[in-house]
Amino acid sequence: MSVQRLTIATRRSRLALWQAEHIRAQLERIHPGLAVELLPMSTRGDEVLDRSLDRIGGKGLFVKELETAMAEGRAELAVHSMKDVPAELPPGFILAAICAREDPRDALVSPRFASLAEMPAGAVVGTSSLRRAAQVRERYPTLELALLRGNVETRIAKLDRGEYDAIVLAVAGLVRLGLVERIRSRLPLEESLPAPGQGALGIECLAARQDVQQMLAPLADASTALCVRAERAVSRALGGSCTLPLGAYAVMRERRLSLSALVASADGRRVLRAQASGGDPEEVGAQAARALRDQGAEAILGALK
């Protein structure tokens, strides 16, 4: 084996470190003799917590510094939550592996309420996601939505201090951090369609590093990768912006993809939904995007710019 040592660039949050450690353990198990180190880094997305992501530059803020570390040779790979990865990677980078998916759903976390339906008018729900906020507003227009930024532990601490009545987080992050007991309910897909790639980990590296890609190949899950590619294709076809309240989730059944997608106005008053199916993930995603455009997605997209 030509490579004896690899370095993983990772954000410093406990969840990001868990994810990087998880990949390190798998790599060292698959490739005996390989030493894998972590390079923890702070990203702008982690540092600016008083504004929503769409106002400060989007999901790419969580990956840009990690990509710089790879470009400069300080790291060979980076581990991401796929929902944080922009629809288009910069030239010279590749997603070498998308790993098997954890539960993709959103979770309601609350010390008082077991469901959104239980919450009284005026109760405050915290989220940093336009997608989550729009879907909550659509079904529960009497609830108040409030900005909630920070890592998982920071968000839960704000909830426990009484700043919110409930918060909505990804199930996968809570599971990975050993916080399953904090989940009051897992929101059904029809109530809160996940972000593209939610629940899946992706491993990014330089496109030129074929040796690294070969080492990462055993970590890839083919079915998850096809589903995530279809979901990301919806985002890409609609402009790939994190300012877009976009949900997309695909499943593989008998070698065919079945995709659900939605686009919402920020206030949740307009929610457009589409279904698509087929064998090619890029075409399935494009098909769903066309159906959303046919329903008037352009007007929603234009209002968000």
Instruction: Report CA-CA distances (Å) from 100 to 56, 82, 161, 175.
Output: 31, 11, 35, 14
For 107-129, b/e burial (b = at least 16 CB within 10 A) is bbbbeebeebeebeeebbbbbbb
What is the rounded CA–CA span in Å between residue 277 and residue 77? 33
- Angle at alpha carbon of residue 227, lines to 176 and 247, rounded to 5°: 75
Dig out the tokens for 78 from the structure.
């980076």
Quickly count: other Cβ atoms within 10 Å of residue 290's Cβ.
16
Dihedral sign for Cα 32, 37, 43, 49, please: positive
- Angle at alpha carbon of residue 213, lines to 224 and 81, rounded to 5°: 45
Residue 287 DSSP one-character state: H
Residue type present at position 24? R
Dihedral sign for Cα 203, 208, 210, 212, please: negative
Residue 171 and residue 105 in contact, taking contact as beta carbons nearer than 8 Å: yes
Q: Which residues are catalytic?
A: 84
